[in-house]
Amino acid sequence: MIGHWCNDEDLRMRIVTWNIQWGRGADGVVDLARTRDTLAELGPLDVICLQEVADRFDGLPGGAGEAEVEWFETAFPEWETLYAPGLDVRRPDGGRSRFGNLILSRWPIRQAFRHLLPCPGDGRVPSMQRSCAEAIVELPAGPLRILTTHLEYYSRPQRIAQIEALRQLQAEAASQAIDPPRHERESVFAARAKPASAILCGDFNCEPQSAEHVRLGAPIDGLVPEWADAWSLVYPSTPHASTVGLHGAEWPDRQYCCDFFFVSGDLVDRLRSVRVEAATAASDHQPVILEIEV
């Protein structure tokens, strides 16, 4: 059973980010129950951020068009969910096929945002529309933004544009926190906090110290708590642990890291741990778990 993480001295939140490859393990078999069981084996969790969640999408290797969003909602009945597909296309039977990012939260999701990321033309390579799911969760200490994304793999120009969009999301939230809009008391114009404090995670399809990785953590302006790489903060002299290539999946041909946690600058002192779960072969990526005081 997956439950809250807390202790008597402070309140800590444990978050996992994981590209689940629509439940397909390194053995090529889609097994969502294995995905669920692997998450349970990670210990108590408060927020689960998943990438490559397919919903009635035919043609994916090993899959059979599973309704994965409904499956996860059933498997985690006490959790709130936010699904942000990048792809949303019509099925031949009139339904929809979707592919994107899913957030599961033990804490109430007070606001939900589904951002489509830039996709400038780059006909030299395959690509797909990418998205970012953003949930504002209500914690005892106040609201916190949690974002998860999956950036383009093949097209570097698209990936760079998507990095800039993530930076702009942080700048926008910070500006609203500093200068919130005037609100009415009720209905669509009611006051709803959008804090600058945030955690960003996912599969960024770039390596540590690549131009994209460095750019994401670059200063935005003097008023914005920019993104900081959690691993580098916790282990400043240790290379990032690999998150792909560990268990003989179809790709890549070497081990490296492309799955990260970033935190806004105001949360740096609250970080307690970040680690890669290297043992599981339930996907072609490894889960990454972050623990932070909230």
Mean per-residue pLDDT over the chain, rounded: 93
Is 0.75 topped by the overall pTM? yes
User: Which stretch of 73-77, 117-121, 176-180 has the lowest confidence by average pLDDT?
Assistant: 176-180
User: Which stretch of 54-58, 93-97, 130-134, 176-180 has the lowest confidence by average pLDDT?
Assistant: 176-180
Q: Using 50, 70 and 90 to split pLDDT, how confident is the model at 10?
A: low
Q: What is the CA radius of gyration of the chain?
A: 18
pLDDT tens digits, one per residue of 198-233 = 999 999 999 999 999 999 999 987 767 789 999 999
State percent of the chain over pLDDT 70. Answer: 96
> Distance from CA of residue 241 to its chain's centroid?
18
* Contact predicate 96/56, CB 8 Å: yes
pLDDT tens digits, one per residue of 237-265 = 999 999 999 999 989 999 999 999 999 99
Superfamily of domain covering 12-179+192-293 = Endonuclease/exonuclease/phosphatase (3.60.10.10)
What's the token pair of residue 249? 């999946």
pLDDT in the model for residue 194: 87
For residue 182, report the phi and psi dihedrals to the nearest 5 degrees.
Answer: -70, 135
For residue 183, report the phi and psi dihedrals to the nearest 5 degrees.
Answer: -120, 150
CA atoms 208, 293, 114, 252: torsion sign: positive
Extents of the domains making up the chain: 12-179+192-293
Looking at residues 177-186, what average pLDDT do you find?
76
Separation CA 20–CA 53 (nearest Å): 7
Q: Using 50, 70 and 90 to split pLDDT, how confident is the model at 9?
A: very low
| Residue 2 predicted with pLDDT over 80 | no
